Chains A and B, each alone.
Chain A
Amino acid sequence: MNNNNFTQVKSGIYEKNEITLSNILVSLKNHPKIKDAGSILTFTGIVRNTSKNGEQIRNLEIDAYEELANKSIYKICKEIKEIPGIVDIIIVHFKGVFDIKDELVHVIVASSHREEGFKALRLAVEKYKKEIAVWKKEVFSDGSSEWAH
């Protein structure tokens, strides 16, 4: 891979569309130990058109306490990287106002083998859902809105 113009993507909170999945993959493939990896697994959370209760959603707003959320993201990544066979992980969560189908979060795991990669990816997704200081406001089709908890 050509390392010119390479920008390392750090895990954390970013503005909507500030980084693409492709940017993250390039960053991950420039990891010094990427040759130890046999798989890269990605999870992308996008905006669904219904709430948990089945109400129609027009759009979504994400607010974040960046300093705190970044600390938690760093902690999750550190824990995941300690799992044997995990080469690297990057978690990028966006904030801002989103339409249906927009990307909200990317979790990307590079691992020696797929088995530990799948487990680590799932663990990282479950953790970011509960542990990072991020909130989402669902705006419904009638214009009303509610912060989901």
Chain B
Amino acid sequence: MKVEILYFANFKDITGKDREFLELKKNTVEELTSKLFSKYKPIKNLIWDDEIKNLKGNISIVINDKLITDKNKGKMAFVDGDKVAFLLPFAGG
């Protein structure tokens, strides 16, 4: 199963790209973050809280252009072709 991950702001600087496809087997946020962290180590510091073993509280997940407000956002599952983004708090001009 493939998901398309979009990169904005800090994520774009770290990865050097604005999107890419990643292959997943378990379809979970945990699997996706694990793949991301092994590929791009600085992303872990950006979005992961080691104490709570989950995404930091101020990190949002967007799936298919829809903001996920579920409290258990770290436990979400994906389907093939989903477009996913992790977002830092917004800062308009």
Instruction: State whether these chains interact.
Output: yes
Known pairs A63-B8, A65-B85; A134 contacts B91 (CB<8 A): yes
Question: Roughly how many angstroms separate A135 CA and B67 CA in the complex, as a whole number?
Answer: 16
**Contact check: which of A65, A104, A128 meets B62 at CB < 8 Å?**
A65
> Is A45 a contact of B90 with CB atoms below 8 Å?
no
Question: A26 at interface (Cβ–Cβ under 8 A)?
Answer: no
Contacts of A147 in B (CB 8 A): 9-10, 13, 88, 91
Q: Across the interface, name the chain B residue whose C-beta is closest to A133.
A: B90
> Is A68 a contact of B92 with CB atoms below 8 Å?
no
Nearest chain A CB to B13 CB, angstrom units: 8
> Is A129 a contact of B6 with CB atoms below 8 Å?
no
> Is A68 a contact of B67 with CB atoms below 8 Å?
yes
Nearest chain A CB to B16 CB, angstrom units: 14
Question: A71 at interface (Cβ–Cβ under 8 A)?
Answer: yes
> Is B90 a contact of A134 with CB atoms below 8 Å?
yes
Question: B51 at interface (Cβ–Cβ under 8 A)?
Answer: no
Known pairs A63-B8, A65-B6, A133-B8; A149 contacts B89 (CB<8 A): yes
Question: A130 at interface (Cβ–Cβ under 8 A)?
Answer: yes
Nearest chain A CB to B53 CB, angstrom units: 23
> Is B12 a contact of A62 with CB atoms below 8 Å?
no
Nearest chain B CB to A58 CB, angstrom units: 16
Q: Across the interface, name the chain B residue whose C-beta is closest to A137.
A: B9
Question: Roughly how many angstroms separate A148 CA and B88 CA in the complex, as a whole number?
Answer: 10
- 86-139 of chain A: CB within 8 A of chain B: 93-94, 104-105, 128-137
Known pairs A65-B62, A68-B67; A105 contacts B92 (CB<8 A): yes
> Is B93 a contact of A149 with CB atoms below 8 Å?
no
Known pairs A67-B65, A68-B62, A133-B87; A105 contacts B9 (CB<8 A): no
- 15-58 of chain B: CB within 8 A of chain A: 58
**Contact check: which of B10, B65, B85, B92 meets A134 at CB < 8 Å?**
B92
New A-B contacts (8) at CB < 8 Å, excluding given A133-B90, A147-B10: A62-B93, A65-B8, A71-B65, A93-B93, A105-B93, A132-B92, A134-B93, A136-B93
Can you show 26 pairs from A to B with CB atoms below 8 A apart? A45-B93, A60-B93, A63-B12, A65-B6, A65-B62, A65-B87, A67-B65, A94-B93, A105-B92, A128-B92, A129-B90, A130-B90, A132-B90, A132-B92, A133-B62, A133-B87, A133-B90, A135-B8, A135-B9, A135-B10, A135-B91, A136-B91, A137-B9, A137-B13, A147-B10, A149-B89
